[in-house]
Chain A
Amino acid sequence: MGKMPYDRVKLVRQSGRPTGLDYITNLFRGFIEFHGDRRFGDDPAIVGGVAWLGESPVTVIAIEKGHTAKERTCRGFGAPNPEGYRKALRLMKQAEKFGRPVICFVDTSGACCGVGAEERGQGQAIAENLLELSTLCVPVISILVGEGGSGGALALAVADRVWMLQNAVYSVISPEGCASILWKDSSKAAEAAASLRLTAEDAKSLGIVERILSEKELGKKEFYHRIRALLEEELESLAQDSDLVSKRYERFRRIGSSAVCGAKESL
């Protein structure tokens, strides 16, 4: 039996779990980090660059939360600013130019909520990522490894394959936020977490993720070995797909279509 939804939310918020950089250093060889969005600055909440996956060059992008209190503060608690999303987009376009796949690791409670973020266009930055990722001509795999908080997570998850760790959560709003808006009572977060259907199993049954990754031996060599093998296998099959972009369109196009009724008449 899996854990209750809200227990998972609390679990993945803990600092002891592997963070973005742990995945990068353990899954790939020779990671070289690239900084900056070339427009404003460098967001430490998003780490990106190039590395080897087996014998193939890949672009890797990860939201980094940090482990210690100091690291977490430096990383902005894994809540990216617009420049973080713009750096990610720059690296994705670079990957497209050089024909290498993109692998993203998502772990955020949500995009940074602040005056500066709004002044620099947080909404516009996320929107542009959604727009551009929808037609990126190289394979994209996104793995939700902890918290998948709303648009701030989706900005790195418009992918050909979206995978989730067994206890990861993916939600349109935090359970606390949902409970306080709907029921004016943030202590009803557990109830909200259950209603929001934010677990990996829920996301899979809704057709939003393709694969749930077991957390057996989480953070151990065997764990990374298993994920690396899955990534290699998946990228090999995606590399042979000449119809990537239109399949990605269809992948998102159908989500929610069965939830609506009423004839879609055309003129």
Chain B
Amino acid sequence: MAFIHFLKPKNQLEEGGRTAAPVQQDQGEPEKTCPNCRRDIPLSRLWANDLVCSCGYHFRMKARQRVRMITDKESFRELFAGVRAENPLGFPGYRDKVETVRAASGEEEAVVCGEARIGGQDCCLFVMEPYFMMGSMGSAVGEKITSLFEHALARRLPVVGFTVSGGARMQEGLLSLMQMAKTSAAVKRHSDAGLLYLAVLTDPTTGGVTASFAMEGDILLAEPGATVGFAGARVIEQTTRKALPAGFQKAEFLLEHGFVDAIASRSGQRKLLAELLKLHKRGG
């Protein structure tokens, strides 16, 4: 089943994602309440700390902000930027929805792809966008991810990918479902050539993305507290009519059950990724 989340209303946090940290001093600095520790955090402090609260709670992050955070300065060269889906099945309301989301998010689609350097290491990078229909995968996302793995294969580069997704995009029906097979096949070709694929699972990674390229990395990292699963927790609760265990589908739960290699806090990700890329480099 696909579990699609919707675009959350714009808030100051997102607004800040597109430009430098907006600090307004006149009426007191804008604050954001941490859903974990309930404390109000000044936005400027949150920005300075890569959207991580002092209690360790990781807020969602826009794709381009993540690109800036993780890559070496001015090393990112975007690929396949113009790829976008129209309304291939003529699904009612889809075109308007996408247009609204495009305007609000400033993105054409739910993933940003390119070549970059991380700590001096060359790689191909994809970062999914939580503020574009919650990173749902339709034909364009599938096409961009597939093209990126093909590009990485041709260039013999590793792939680093940050996943966030509500699953397959139901407005593109079967075409979305097939992107799971398409992206997986591209991951396999890349993998069979002996190339590294590092996936970082961020909150939330669910449905058809979990059941395809998110789980297919050679190394799987997860951000602390990220929800990662196939079926949605609420759906499971409704289906089984039982209370879910504490911490169900959280990154730590996945670690405990053997489905991720490590939990990676945002502050250490850049260094860790660079080190892992370096460790897997062949022929020096």
User: Which A residues are closer than 8 A to B by beta carbons?
Assistant: 110-111, 113-115, 117-124, 126-128, 130-132, 134-135, 149-152, 154-155, 158, 170-174, 177-178, 181-182, 195-198, 202-203, 206, 208, 248-249, 252-253, 255-257, 259-267
Roughly how many angstroms separate A198 CA and B115 CA in the complex, as a whole number? 37
The answer to whether B184 and A127 touch across the interface, beta carbons within 8 angstroms, is yes
B194 interface contact, C-beta 8 A: no
The answer to whether A197 and B173 touch across the interface, beta carbons within 8 angstroms, is yes
Stretch at the interface among B16-24, B238-246, B268-276: B238-246
The answer to whether A115 and B245 touch across the interface, beta carbons within 8 angstroms, is yes
The answer to whether A264 and B236 touch across the interface, beta carbons within 8 angstroms, is no
B265 interface contact, C-beta 8 A: no
Select one of B108, B140, B188 contacting A135, CB under 8 A. Answer: B188
The answer to whether B239 and A178 touch across the interface, beta carbons within 8 angstroms, is no
A contact residues around B244 at 8 Å (CB): 115
Roughly how many angstroms separate A248 CA and B176 CA in the complex, as a whole number? 18
**In the complex, what residue of chain B is closest to A196 when comparing beta carbons?**
B173
B57 interface contact, C-beta 8 A: no
6 A-B pairs closest in CB distance: A262-B82, A256-B139, A123-B210, A259-B88, A130-B184, A134-B185
The answer to whether B175 and A206 touch across the interface, beta carbons within 8 angstroms, is yes
In addition to A158-B184, A252-B185, A267-B79, 7 A-B residue pairs with Cβ atoms within 8 Å of each other are: A113-B239, A123-B211, A135-B188, A259-B85, A260-B139, A261-B83, A264-B80
B contact residues around A117 at 8 Å (CB): 230-231
Chain B 161-196 residues near chain A, CB threshold 8 A: 168, 170, 172-182, 184-189, 191-192
The answer to whether A182 and B236 touch across the interface, beta carbons within 8 angstroms, is no
B92 interface contact, C-beta 8 A: yes
Distance between A203 CB and nearest chain B CB, rounded to angstroms: 6
**In the complex, what residue of chain B is closest to A122 when comparing beta carbons?**
B230
Roughly how many angstroms separate A261 CA and B245 CA in the complex, as a whole number? 44
- Size class of the B contact interface (CB-based, 8 Å): 35 or more
Roughly how many angstroms separate A117 CA and B81 CA in the complex, as a whole number? 37
Distance between A266 CB and nearest chain B CB, rounded to angstroms: 7
B45 interface contact, C-beta 8 A: no
B37 interface contact, C-beta 8 A: no
14 chain-A/chain-B pairs, Cβ below 8 angstroms: A113-B239, A118-B230, A121-B257, A122-B229, A123-B210, A126-B230, A135-B189, A150-B1, A154-B178, A171-B177, A172-B172, A260-B143, A265-B79, A266-B151
The answer to whether B259 and A121 touch across the interface, beta carbons within 8 angstroms, is yes
Q: For chains A and B in complex, what number of residue pairs have CB atoms within 8 angstroms?
A: 227
B68 interface contact, C-beta 8 A: no
Roughly how many angstroms separate A127 CA and B189 CA in the complex, as a whole number? 15
B135 interface contact, C-beta 8 A: no
Decide yes or no: A256 and B83 within 8 Å by CB, A113-B1, A150-B1 being known contacts.
no
Select one of B79, B108, B177 contacting A150, CB under 8 A. Answer: B177
The answer to whether A264 and B83 touch across the interface, beta carbons within 8 angstroms, is yes
Roughly how many angstroms separate A151 CA and B239 CA in the complex, as a whole number? 18
B contact residues around A197 at 8 Å (CB): 89, 173-174
Select one of A115, A134, A152 contacting B188, CB under 8 A. Answer: A134
A contact residues around B88 at 8 Å (CB): 256, 259
B contact residues around A257 at 8 Å (CB): 139, 143
The answer to whether B208 and A151 touch across the interface, beta carbons within 8 angstroms, is yes
The answer to whether A255 and B175 touch across the interface, beta carbons within 8 angstroms, is yes
Distance between A89 CB and nearest chain B CB, rounded to angstroms: 13
